[in-house]
Structure 1
Amino acid sequence: MSKEIEVIIEGTYPLAATLTLPEGNMKFPLVVMVHGSGPTDRDSNAKGMPLNIFKEISEVVAKEGFASIRYDKRGIGASKGDYYEAGVYDLIDDARAVLEYAKKHQNIDGNRVILLGHSEGSILAPFVNEIISVDGMILLSGTAEPLAETMKWQRQEMINDIRSLKGFEGWVTRLIKLDEKITKMNDGLIKVISETDKAVIRYKGKKMNAKWNREHLQFDVSKPLQKVNCPVLAITGTKDVNVKLSDLEKIKALVQGECETHIIQDMTHMLRKTDVANSMSKIMNDYKKSIKQPIDSELKDIIITWLRNWKSRDVKVHESEFIV
C-alpha cells in the first residue's frame, strides 16, 4: 500500500507536487516524472483530456518499490506562476527544482534516481540530466531532434492525410483548399512569433506562448542525449502520430549508456492502443474515446521489467563499492 504526500517545492514559483512512497520505512529509489507539452497537471490531465498517465505510472512503480514525484506545471493546478509565460528554460528549471527537492527527502535514496519523460518531457529530461546527472532514464514517445523539426514533420503528415481523404470529405477539403490554409496559417504564426520578444501573444484570437515556441528553436535534444551515460528505456507506439518511430533508433545510437528500445504495436501518443486505421485524423479523433481506458498494459509490463532489471543491476553496482 503506497502513501501519497502533498508537497510544495520552492523554485522560481512554488510548485505543487505529489510524492508517492511505497510501504515501509526506508530510503527508496526514485522516479521523477517530467511532463509533455500543454497545460497539464501532475497526473498528466488537461481540460477535456484526462490522460492520468503519471498517476497510473506512479501506482505501477510504487508496487515495484520505487518512490515517485509528479508535479503540477507552472501556473496549472495548485502551482503558482503563469503557464503561458513559461519558456523551455523555465520548464527545465522547474524539473530541476523538483529533482533537487526529492533527492534530499529523508525517504529517498538520492543515488538511485530515474527521470521519466513523456513527449516533450523526453526532450527536457536529457537537459535536466546535464544539470544534475541521474542514474536512469525512461523516454516515452520521445524524439531525437529539435521539437520545431518534429512539428514541421507533423504538419506535413497532416497535409498528406488531408490530401488522401476520399469521397465527399475529400472533395470538400480540396474545395476549400484546407492543406494550403494550414500551411498559410502556420507560416503566419511563425512570422509573428519570430518578430516579437513578448512571452505571450494572441494569434487569430487564440492566446499563444510565443516564448516557448521561440526557445524550442534553440534546443536540440540530440546534443544532451550524447551526454547520457545511464541506462535508458525508450518506448514508442506504431500509431504515434506525434513523433517519428525512427527516432527510437536515433536515441539508441546517441546515448552513451545501455539503451533498450521497444515498439508497441497499435499504441498512440496517449499511451493507449487503438484499432482505428493508421491515419493521423482518425487516430487523433479517437483520443477522447481511447483515454477512457487505462494506459496500455504492455507498456506497463515493459516498464516493470526494466525497473526490476535496473534495480538488480544497481544493487550489484552498490555492493561492488564495498568489495575490498
Structure 2
Amino acid sequence: MKHLKWATLVVLFFTISTNSWSQSEKNVKVKTKYGKLYGNLITCDNKKNAPVVLIIPGSGPTDRNGNSVLLQTNSYKMLAEGLAKEGISSLRYDKLLVGESKGNITESEFRFDHNVEFAMAWIDFLTSKGFKNIVVLGHSEGSLIGMLAAQRKVVSKFISLAGTGRPADVVLIEQLTGQSSTIQAEVKRLFKHLKRGDQVEKLSPDLAALFRPSAQPYLISWIKYNPKVEIGNLEIPVLIVHGSTDIQVSEVDANMQKGGNFGSELVIIEGMNHILKVAPDDKEENTKTYFNPKLPLHPDLIPAIVGFVK
C-alpha cells in the first residue's frame, strides 16, 4: 500500500503536467433499451493502442461532470481534463434520467443492474471506435458497477475510486451512525426485509424519502452484491484509490477491496475526500467542498491514476 503525501508529489505533479497533447472533445451517445445516454469523449492524439479511461459516476442523479441538482463538484470534468493533459483519452457520461440522458423507465422499474448494462454499452461504444486499451474507472457506487461491467467485457485495467468494499446496506447503516437509536433500529429492520427481497410499505416520516416504495426495488437489486467478492473476480490489473478524509466511505472499505483482490495496488491519498478534493477531517468543513465547483482535484490523484494507466 502506498500513502501519498501532498508535499512529496508537488514536484512530480507539476513536472508531468507540462506535457502538451493534441486532443479533441465531442458529445457522443449510445442507444439502450431504456433511452439514449450522452457523454463527452476526449480523444488524445496518441500512439496506437493508447489507453482510454471510462469514468463511471457515483450514486444519485449525477451528470458527466460530477454534478447534480444539490451538489456542484466538477470532479469528473476535472478528472477527464487532468488525464487529457497527460495524453490519456477518456469518456464520461450522464446517468440515465440525468442531464441529456433521457429515458423511458420509471423509478420503480429501475434496477442496479441497469447501470451495469449502461456501462457495458459504453465499453462497446469505445470498442467500436477502435479503442483496444480500455481502462474502467468507477467512482463511489460506480466502483461496483465498474467491477461487474469489467467482468463481462474485455477491458485492460480497473480502477476503484472511493468505492465501498462491503455490501451497500452495511455501509448505509454505518452512515446513519449518530441518528437516534429508534431510526437505526428501523433501518436495520428495513434492510432485513429488503435482503429477503421483500418491500416495506409502512415507513416512519424520517425514512420515507430514502426508502420510498418506488426506490426499494433498486435497493434490493443493489445490496445483493458484495464488492469484496466482485473485485476478486477480476483477472486484470486493479488499482484501488481512497482518500484519508473521505467522510462517506471508510478506509476499511479500501482495505476490504484489497483483501478481495490480493494482486491489486492500494493507494491512500492523504487529505483527499470523497469528491476527490483537498479537505480536512472536520465534517462541516469537508462538506463545504461539495458546493464549490472551482476547487481543483487533490494534486496527488492524477499522478496516481496516470502511473497505473500508462
Bucket of the pairwise TM-score, normalised by the shorter protein: 0.7 to 0.9
Q: Does residue 153 of the first structure (1) align with residue 174 of the second (2)?
A: yes
Per-residue deviation, residues 217-253 of structure 1 (Å, max 9, x unmatched): 2111222211212222211111112112023233223
Q: Which amino acid in the other structure matches residue 187 of structure 2?
A: N
Distance 1:246 1:197 in 2: 30
1:140-168 Cα offsets, whole Å, 9 max, x none, are 11122211111122223xx1xxxxxxxxx
State how many pairs are aligned.
Answer: 278
Q: Deviations over 1:42-65 (max 9, x none)?
A: 111101312212211111222222
Show the counterpart of 2:199: 196
Q: 1:276 to 1:222 in 2, by over 3 A?
A: closer
1:268 aligns with 2:268: no
- What stretches of structure 2 of length at least 5 have no aligned partner? 1-21
In structure 2, the partner of 1:186 is 187
Pairing partner for 1:216 from 218, 222, 235: 222
Query: Cα–Cα, structure 1 residues 188 and 297, in superposed 2: closer, same or farther, change >3 Å?
Result: same
Structure 2 residue aligned with 1:230: 236
2:36 aligns with 14
Alignment match, 1:91: 115
Partner AA of 2:183 in structure 1 = I
CA offset at residue 283 of structure 1? 5.1
Unaligned runs of at least 5 residues, structure 1? 160-177, 312-324
Q: Is contact 1:17-1:42 (8 Å) kept?
A: yes
Contact 1:274 1:290 in 2 (8 A): no
Question: In angstroms, what is the RMSD of aligned CA positions?
Answer: 2.7
Q: In 2 relative to 1, CA 24–129 (structure 1 residues): closer, same or farther, beyond 3 Å?
A: closer
**Which residue, out of 61, 71, 86, partners 2:93?**
71
Q: How does 1:1-324 map to 2 (within 5 A)?
A: 1-12=22-33, 13-23=35-45, 28-81=50-103, 82=105, 84=107, 85-105=109-129, 108-110=130-132, 112-156=133-177, 159=178, 179-180=180-181, 182-183=183-184, 186-187=187-188, 190=191, 195-196=198-199, 204=208, 209-255=215-261, 258-277=263-282, 281-282=283-284, 285-288=287-290, 291-307=293-309, 311=310
Relative distance call for 1:250 and 1:226 in structure 2 (3 A) is same
Aligned partners of 1:74 and 1:83 also within 8 Å: no
Report 1 or 2 for greater relative contact order, CA contacts < 8 Å, sequence distance ≥ 6.
2
CA distance in 2 between counterparts of 1:83 and 1:7 reads 24
Matched to 1:196, the amino acid is Q
Q: What letter matches 1:305 in structure 2? A: G
Q: TM-score, normalised by structure 2?
A: 0.80
Summarize deviations over 1:95-133 as a string: whole Å, max 9, x none: 11111111111xx332x1100010011111111112113
Residue by residue over 1:79-103, the C-alpha shift from the partner in whole angstroms, topping out at 9 and shown as x without a partner, is 1224734211111011111111111
**Distance between the aligned counterparts of 1:216 and 1:238, measured in 2?**
26
**Taking every aligned residue pair, what percent have the same amino acid on both sides?**
25
Q: TM-score, normalised by structure 1?
A: 0.77
Q: Which amino acid letter does the alignment assign opposite residue 184 of structure 2?
A: T
Distance change in 2, residues 1:237/1:25 (3 Å): closer
Provide the C-alpha distance between the structure 2 equivalents of 1:83 and 1:68, rounded to a whole number of angstroms: 30
1:22-53: CA deviation from partner (whole Å, max 9, x where unpaired): 13696642111111100011111101312212
